[in-house]
Structure 1
Amino acid sequence: MTIDWSQQRILVFAPHPDDETLGCGGLMHRAKAAGAEVYVQFLTVGDTADNSAKGFSTADERYAEIKEVADHFRWDGWHIAFPGDEYHLKLDALPRFELSNAIERHSPLSIAELRPTVVIAPHRTSYNQDHQVTAEAMHTALRPSNTRLRHHPRLVLAYEEAADQWRYEAAPSPNLLVELDEEDLEAKLAAMRLYGTQIHEHPHTRSEQTLRSLAVLRGMQTGVALAEGFYAMRLLA
């Protein structure tokens, strides 16, 4: 199967800044280099407790990192739907109706507004509550219906992150693998370095070694050097 990335308008849903890079940084770089449009809808960001020397990163620091990463990947646009500590790491407290509507139509980068050909979001088996509810809200927003009345992206994917397997009901291996070259992977790693408050030394799920190791594993599984793994939820040829 071959996807002509040059013809795609890609919308990535990221619960927090860095999820889009962890899950599909290589694909974004490959698609953008081919001529695709790439947009990122972040769901929330706020002050974050972390393992840095000071013990937290501020929302202002996170915003500054997003801007650097956006320039690095040359995104065509990005937006944060629910900014602030009221929502950050608390998306599961939002009514599903409100979250789904933001994804479907009540955001500048909603599915109805942008009409993407490809939608990519987290997988529901993540241990993180914000990831779980983002995935479920995306499922609702992209429910099957009359394509003459609502926009249906032809390709809907869920991305994986290294820690997603930390669940009893962990998903099986990805069923769609996107080949990367070294330049794509290096762009992904460089973007994670720009997320200076979020990247960690190995062993950690957000270390460079983890990201490279996962790309090597997924590549091996399909007979190439490097790849990113996805779960195809809709594939309309």
Structure 2
Amino acid sequence: MPASTTLTAQDRVLVFAPHPDDEALGCGGLIQHAVAAGAQVRVIFQTDGDNNPWPQRYVEQRWSIDDDCRRRWGARRRQEALRSVQTLGLRAEDAIFYGLPDQGLTRLWMQQDARTLDLHVADLQNFRPTLLVVPSQDDNHPDHGGSYELVQEARKRAGLTAVRQWDYLIHRRWFCPEASGLTLNLTLQQKARKLAAIECHETQLYLSSTRFCAYARDEEIFIPNPYA
């Protein structure tokens, strides 16, 4: 990690994950770096990933999925998220769950939903992060773009516009990461622990194991946000 981006025990790192698994896929190495530095880390899961029909159909061998099915699936994914953050070195209480509508974050941002923004503002003001880690606005998944916009609006309302922000991208590959991004190199041990955290999300591995496990690479790439 370059000297200018070194984390210390004085840092307070707040990670936003639109769904359970994004924390491991996009930031599993960074979370380990922060923990090793003695920084305080919180992970906010904005949705429970409950609107996830194809893996649920496969696992539960059912076609019709109603509200009760989705709630059960969301509860299962929360438990996976808790195991993941603990694998990365955090405590269960370092995970915060908003339970917002999966596939609905962009809609909530466009509506400027008061409850949703109040949740974000309250945690920003209470935790007072020195570093925000947020999905990129260029991510192809609408919940990731919506997550980005919600955090930008909330940080303005919380008066935290000067706080550092690093953006991570999951649903589109970098074209030239060396030129545009901040590269975080992982040790073999960190890479193995990141893979173990990804594997905690077992509901997502039934249909996408190869794709998910491929995120346990030798490096993670973040874009320092110049507008934040």
- Using the size of structure 2 for normalisation, the TM-score is 0.78
1:89 aligned to 2:103?
Answer: yes
Structure-1 residue corresponding to 2:88 = 73
Instruction: State the structure with bigger RCO (CA 8 A, min sep 6), 1 or 2.
Output: 2
Structure-2 residue corresponding to 1:4 = 7
Number of aligned residue pairs: give it: 204
Superimposed CA distance per residue, residues 157-188 of structure 1 (whole angstroms, 9 cap, x where no aligned partner):
00121x324xxxx8763421112211111111
8 Å contact kept, 1:11–1:120: yes
Cα distance in 1 for residues equivalent to 2:138 and 2:160 = 26
- Using the size of structure 1 for normalisation, the TM-score is 0.76
The one-letter amino acid paired with 1:80 is F
Secondary structure at 2:34 match in 1:
helix
1:227 aligned to 2:227?
Answer: no
8 Å contact kept, 1:154–1:235: no
CA separation of 1:234/1:75 partners in 2, compared to 1, >3 Å: closer, same or farther? farther
1:211 aligned to 2:215?
Answer: yes
8 Å contact kept, 1:42–1:80: yes
Q: Which has the higher helix share?
A: 2
1:177 aligned to 2:183?
Answer: yes
Aligned-CA RMSD value:
2.6
Secondary structure at 1:6 match in 2:
coil
Using the TM superposition, give the Cα deviation of residue 156 of structure 1 relative to its aligned residue in structure 2, in angstroms.
Answer: 0.5
8 Å contact kept, 1:41–1:80: yes
Cα distance in 1 for residues equivalent to 2:176 and 2:202 = 31
The one of 185, 192, 197 aligned to 2:198: 192
Using the TM superposition, give the Cα deviation of residue 64 of structure 1 relative to its aligned residue in structure 2, in angstroms.
Answer: 1.6
Q: Which moved more, 1:12-21 or 1:177-186?
A: 177-186
Superimposed CA distance per residue, residues 105-151 of structure 1 (whole angstroms, 9 cap, x where no aligned partner):
24xxx2111101110010112221111111112222334x9xxx823
Cα distance in 1 for residues equivalent to 2:163 and 2:52 = 35
Cα distance in 1 for residues equivalent to 2:109 and 2:169 = 25
Unaligned runs of 5+ in 2: none
Using the TM superposition, give the Cα deviation of residue 60 of structure 1 relative to its aligned residue in structure 2, in angstroms.
Answer: 2.0
1:160 aligned to 2:177?
Answer: no
Structure-2 residue corresponding to 1:127 = 140
Unaligned runs of 5+ in 1: 216-225
Cα distance in 1 for residues equivalent to 2:132 and 2:74 = 26
